[in-house]
Structure 1
Amino acid sequence: QAIFTSQCFNCIMTSKYNIITFLPVNLFEQFQEVANTYFLFLLILQLIPQISSLSWFTTIVPLVLVLSITAVKDATDDYVTLMYTVYVLQADLLLLSSSEPHGLCYIETAELDGETNMKVRQSLSVTSELGDPNNLARFDGEVVCEPPNNKLDRFCGTLYWKDCKYPLSNQNMLLRGCVLRNTETCYGLVIFAGPDTKLMQNSGRTKFKRTSIDRLMNTLVLWIFGFLVCMGVILAIGNAVWEKEVGALFQSFLPWDPPVDNFLFSAFLSFWSYVIILNTVVPISLYVR
């Protein structure tokens, strides 16, 4: 048990989204999947009339459906996480006194540094006798210290109390995340709380995590897309050969479209047309699970 002698902001949100950021952040995460990016690229190609023989409607409807299903699932998961509200009074404390002699306090810091051995913290001798809650209520000391940082093994500050000043070090601190061991009660002054604690300062930004299955799916899509490009190149070369050797004989009956002025440009447009026509080699429902 730890009793605080001051109140600080100590709220930490672990949800990924809020009402404002949900749409852009979720779309950004979904387009990390290669298949979704591929179909967005395909949709852009289908909006070009010179190369598209299929309606863009045939791509945008399933793409929007897949994105919507995934977005609803992500929103539901995040909302369920948000509904679990946990009230924990936990912060970086300056140890004032404890139930142990000489203001000693035994802690375990496995969550902070991975070490499971017992460690000792000790309060200043001038505050170690403030074990009685009535005495703590009259404590009016002032702490001047370094700004919030991620140095778990260092703390520098000064306690001003009764016209005297006392240097403070890491040995006087109980950091958020440590666990009391063999100590019934300790009393402390909150120094850092919430996102300012050293534990949270070390957490960094939350990274978008991808499972091994997602990485495998992305790799497979890239291989399939490479196969699609090879087919498109072969067919485009065939188109160029046909247009040069045979198609020119039918210019009176089947002239090229106005933008097309030679067989190479015709082959270039044909390549993208084949990419659109053969798009079904990549299933759009690949990531819906």
Structure 2
Amino acid sequence: MEYEEQQNPLSPQQLLLRDSKLRNTEYIYGAVIFTGHDTKVMQNATDPPSKRSKIERKMDRIIYFLFAVLFAIAFVGSIYFGIVTEKDLDDRHNRWYLQPENSDIFFDPRRAPAAAMFHFLTAVMLYSYLIPISLYVSIEIVKVLQSIFINKDINMYYEETDKPAHARTSNLTEELGQVDTILSDKTGTLTCNSMEFVKWLTRNGKKHILFDL
């Protein structure tokens, strides 16, 4: 690379990969190569998987559905309320107790669209109890109790290392035992990745240690 009448060699040793950081230097010589969303790195990059459990995702869908039902009820009721309120101009004796000629904006037949809009907001507030927000609090309490039961479970105690079960998080306690994938080596047996000391040999002044994998 020629820069300010000087030639500087660039090799793979001067290549910085994605997300690399260079510090403690005043300046660098470099070239930008293989950039953009069409590169192999960007094509292979995926979003991190969500750590939310299946129950939490299912609760979200239920809340969305109930919110849609709430919106539909309030919207349909507001349209009907606006139509009925506008008819009070022609038939004042139908709902005389509301006094259409002296009513405020909430029942004013001369401003039926505004009355329908305020009715929609009122309906959303009144029907908001249809959405069980306390369900999330109840589920979190159940998760905390599950983590306490896991920590107190005698059957999950490991005698060889003298370690009981310890739930470090309560986010995935409800999915324990739902194993759907088992990774193994080519022989089909599960590996333990443990080394056991077998012998200590000394030959020709050199020490040899044998381990069993």
- TM-score band w.r.t. shorter chain: 0.3 to 0.5
- The structure with more strand, counted as a fraction of residues: 1
TM-score scaled by structure 1? 0.28
Which structure carries more relative contact order (alpha carbon 8 Å, separation 6+)? 1
Query: Rg: which structure is higher?
Result: 2
